[in-house]
Structure 1
């Protein structure tokens, strides 16, 4: 299917009036430059969001009218007062709706009306199918958000599941992440420096929500979101982040608090309960009697300090006095039982939710998880290629990445994990997660983002027992490893080296379309042909199915779900 921008917001009637509203006294020059959004649907409620851009020079409060319509009838309406203390964002937890219903909504300041959004509540029972678009990793300078244009055109969509890296914290320096593309496309981050303060994080969220394709997707269906690391800083954990330097950027707790305040202001996510940790955003969504979606948090509530090869794989004296890598010490540290991504409170909650979902008779339990779960060792290409072949492949890698790539190939000869920031960096914690699955008596579908690659994995515990199936979505626009290493067939090499990896593509950009019915789950890996131009093509890269009591089946040769927008 060829995609081209043609007034996407117009597909939803966005910007069109849907009935008269009482005039208000606010200045007519206020606007809704950041679109509308909904999120966190329940059977009787949903979060509605927008942001009012005040008139130039205005700094006072603004009263915003909102309404929800079913068909042409207004079913609930109200007012929300906003101001600079919340960056003029508007967020309403609308209750009193009916289960399994489509609604429209909009906002108004005086005679100025917002675009119109579509949303949907969750069914209470009798759900026959659920369609979820799964996304992750949208670097604004990294490319166009063509993925969201494709999602906005889907004919059937219950929710968008966002697994994190909604924004990135980097600045616009020439060597900053993705800036070569950002300069070429004139998509430079705002502010131009790395974001640290509350004002910085607010400005970055605001820039992302000016993107027309992202606005269209938000107006199309409710989002169910969790953050990953870049909503605060790269490789964030409980007490810090790789991309946070206390000596120049201050206390990480202060930066984290600013990042989370801006996130809650700018995202259609339900506010934390009074007295609850703002970091604890794990929560559940039940799609009638068909499926439960459990969104977990693996960055800020339970993640212990990450390991990396440059800092934690040290040398020792070898038998001949020459230094050798101390693999035993590194593996001992890696397998420390205390290492975890998910603390005991969240794991106990997850176990209860999985058990309750199974007891309710739902055939599908889905985990919205940030990082790849599978056991993935880096590929030892020396086992399948001659030295000459390896040299030829290395020669295809751009010079800027060649030394790093050669170092990685050297480490991977030792069977070390491909990505220490994923669950592979926390094997004891992963076993506890699998123990929760076993205790609940379920084999869930695990969703993963973060890696900028497509994955289809069969998850097995340390004893080789299958515990779940995993579908990893590639990035919306963030650079992939495959982009950097030229013609090296990394995805194929990872598949060959790891029995848990059924499929891997380290280059394509796109999203996962997860379609659930009582008897099967279909995961279609949807790839866009480019993120550097319009128009573009969107097509199925791979399609796999799962039965509630069966294994994983490659259905790529069968007809994929229709993606027609006409």
Structure 2
């Protein structure tokens, strides 16, 4: 049977309530109800974002000014930009790129927006360093399901003393509705965090409303105000398990043309996110770009969903032998097909050129912001880890709608099949070509991954066994994890034991990865929050690993 990813990831529990959406602007006055944000920092500029809620009963344009200062009290203003407009055609969002004007490299600035008598919250942005750079600190996040739980990890990030930028690897919003059986709605109902609109989002108005709801979350607002975000989408910004021309969670018969849905989703994304607009003539899907942190590191953000990804294989694609058994050899032959790819030739060439340029400039670190897990990960054979009676007890304890999916997975993973076909394991030929690109550039990069709702520390090897990269996978902010609903099974430890590339895995914790980069080492700290169902919470460092520029990985 086809394994349903949403069913495997499951539902969540109960907790305290929070308001679902900010109230409208007061009569006669505009308001800044969605916070402020900055993104895509450069050495002398950044993108600044906000959204103006028009005065009640008004739909006309709103004049907005941007102020950037060296101090939080705005006594030392270095740039003021008047004449910015919040317009209905962009859902009253405002985005301005200083485009290299007025800021200095490697320093903090404060910014705010003004519309009439209304003044926005104050945000903080740090420009990229230039030249000799001692260290950089980056937060790495992904997967924030609004009904799934509170965004406590964002609150923790916002309180860090040092944070140069936040790298968001996608699933900033989710498309699902608010029905009782929709993804995450057990917790969503208990927390008062039902998604808006209450149906699955398909149209431009739908996607705008969903982005607006997420941007009202106070913890997300605090994180955006704390540091610039460097973002890329994954699949749920459009629909679950997207590929170039479709998605698992898109039904053309009832939801219309996928291209129209994708266009609506991307338009809302560019309106509501602090990201540079595509250049004239460029594909909106071409979100890949790079950032140089002085002479220390290059961050290369890739796109693995809409530019080149072929349709995902599923376990339902496993053919049967004449005697009715799974034909694993035939399935593996199809999975290993040379045309299965995520990046495409053009983007892969660009990655190679970017890595080579970084290496030639003498930077010791090349970091790749990638959406899905790159390591080779087989599903664990549970029958080798637990007595049959304990396995049956674990299955019996699961929610009824999840039970058949887990039973099927247990049987399939006895065959040595990949844990997740939506990851790079579903596209091994494309992964090998990327490893060849790393080798040709002479680099051993650090790969970042999201999507899986789990923490990973992996050592990546090509098919010949040569070490090619180290991977840090961040868990979700609030989205359900596979380990949440396999009671009695230490799934993360099972995956580590079954896979030589996996050095650490936690399939239940929620949180973020903190990267601390110096010339000698790159330290990855895996931080979890004690709960996403209530406040207060406690942050906890789960693990710390250190990488050296030659690619060696050590736990400390």
- TM-score (norm. length: structure 1): 0.91
Q: How does 1:120-131 map to 2 (within 5 A)?
A: 120-131=126-137
1:93 aligns with 2:97: yes
| Shift in Å, 1:389 | 4.1
SS of the residue corresponding to residue 95 of structure 2 reads strand
* Range 497-506 or range 90-99, more displaced: 90-99
> Are the aligned partners of 1:135 and 1:162 in contact in 2 as well (CA < 8 Å)?
yes
Q: Which residue of 1 aligns with 2:337?
A: 336
Q: Distance in 1 between matches of 2:384 and 2:62?
A: 66
For residues 196 and 405 of structure 1, what CA distance do their matches in structure 2 show? 30
| Residue of 235, 240, 247 corresponding to 1:241 | 247
Higher deviation after alignment, 149-158 or 481-490: 481-490
Contact 1:27 1:110 in 2 (8 A): no
1:19 is matched with none
Verify the 8 A CA contact 2:141 2:513 in the aligned structure 1.
yes
1:395-544 alignment, distance < 5 Å: 395-544=396-545
State the alpha-carbon separation in 1 of the partners of residues 439 and 393 from structure 2: 46
After superposition, the Cα gap between the structure-2 partners of 1:480 and 1:93, relative to the gap in structure 1 and judged at 3 Å, is same
Partner of 1:315: 320
The alignment's C-alpha RMSD in Å is 1.4
Contact 1:132 1:515 in 2 (8 A): yes
The Cα shift of 1:398 comes to 3.9
Who is 1:251 aligned against?
257
Question: Following TM superposition, by how much is the alpha carbon of 1:505 offset from its aligned partner in structure 2, in angstroms?
Answer: 0.4
Is residue 2:150 matched to residue 1:144?
Answer: yes
Preserved contact between residue 139 and residue 513 of structure 2 (Cα < 8 Å): yes
The residue that corresponds to 1:18 in the other structure is none
Q: 1:65 is paired with a residue of what secondary structure?
A: strand
- Is 1:73 the equivalent of 2:76? yes
Deviation of 1:74 (Å): 1.1
CA shift for structure 1 position 386: 3.7
Shift of the alpha carbon at 1:384?
A: 3.9
| C-alpha contact 1:163 1:227 (8 A) present in aligned 2 | yes
How many residues get paired? Answer: 526
* Alpha-carbon distance between aligned partners in 2 of 1:536 and 1:384, rounded to the nearest angstrom: 33
What is the match of residue 381 of structure 2? 380
Any conservation in 2 of the 1:68–1:76 contact (CA below 8 Å)?
A: yes
- Which stretch shows the higher mean deviation, 55-64 or 45-54? 55-64
Q: Which residue of 1 aligns with 2:369?
A: 368
Distance 1:236 1:69 in 2: 41
Runs of 4+ more than 4 Å apart: none
Separation of aligned partners in 1, 2:35 and 2:404: 44
User: Does the 8 Å CA contact 2:28/2:56 hold for their aligned counterparts?
Assistant: no
Aligned to 2:12: none
Over 3 Å counting, the alpha-carbon distance change for 1:193 and 1:393 in structure 2 is closer
Deviations 1:229-277 (A, max 9, x none): 0000000000000000011111100000000000000000000000000
SS in structure 1 opposite 2:402? helix
Shift of 1:392: 4.1
Deviates more, 1:133-142 or 1:60-69: 60-69
Q: Superposed, which structure 2 residues align to 1:128-277 within 5 Å?
A: 128-277=134-283
After TM superposition, the structure 1 stretch with the greater mean CA deviation from structure 2, 477-486 or 290-299, is: 477-486
Distance 2:401 2:204 in 1: 34
Give the distance between the partners of 2:136 and 2:308, measured in 1 at CA: 31
Runs of 5+ consecutive residues of structure 2 not aligned to the other structure: 1-15, 17-25
Shift of 1:327: 1.6
Partner residue in 2 for 1:15: none
Distance 1:550 1:446, change over 3 A: closer
Q: 1:395: Cα distance to partner?
A: 4.0
Distance 1:385 1:248 in 2: 44
> Would you say the 8 A contact 1:481–1:506 is kept in 2?
yes
Structure 2-normalised TM-score? 0.93
- Distance change (3 Å), C-alpha of 1:302 and 1:109: same
Structure 1 residues not aligned, in runs of 5+: 6-25, 556-566
**Could you tell me whether the CA contact under 8 Å between 2:445 and 2:551 is conserved in 1?**
no
The answer to whether the 8 A contact 1:396-1:488 is kept is no
CA distance in 1, matches of 2:207, 2:54: 19
Per-residue deviation, 1:489: 1.1
> Equivalent residue of 1:530, what SS?
coil
Query: Match of 1:563?
Result: none
CA distance in 2, matches of 1:265, 1:291: 29
Alignment of 1:349 with 2:350, yes or no, is yes
**1:397 Cα deviation after fit:** 3.6
The aligned residue for residue 61 of structure 2 is 61
Distance 1:504 1:105 in 2: 39
Paired residues of 1:398 and 1:485 also in contact (CA < 8 A): no
- 1:82 maps to what in 2? 86
**Is the Cα contact below 8 Å between 1:89 and 1:265 reproduced in 2?**
yes
Deviation per residue, 1:182-237 (Å, 9 max, x gap): 00000000000000000000000000000000000000000000000000000000
CA contact (8 A) 2:470 2:551 kept: no
**Contact 1:521–1:545, Cα closer than 8 Å, also in 2:** yes
Residues 408-451 of structure 1 show CA distances to partners (whole Å, capped at 9, x for unaligned) of 01111111000000000000000011111111111100000000
User: CA separation in 2, counterparts of 1:187 and 1:391?
Assistant: 34
CA distance in 2, matches of 1:59, 1:240: 35
Instruction: Say if 2:444 and 2:551, in contact at 8 Å, map to a contact too.
Output: no
1:278 aligns with 2:284: yes
Query: Shift of the alpha carbon at 1:143?
Result: 0.3
Q: Cα offset for 1:313?
A: 1.3
SS of alignment partner, residue 354 of structure 1: helix
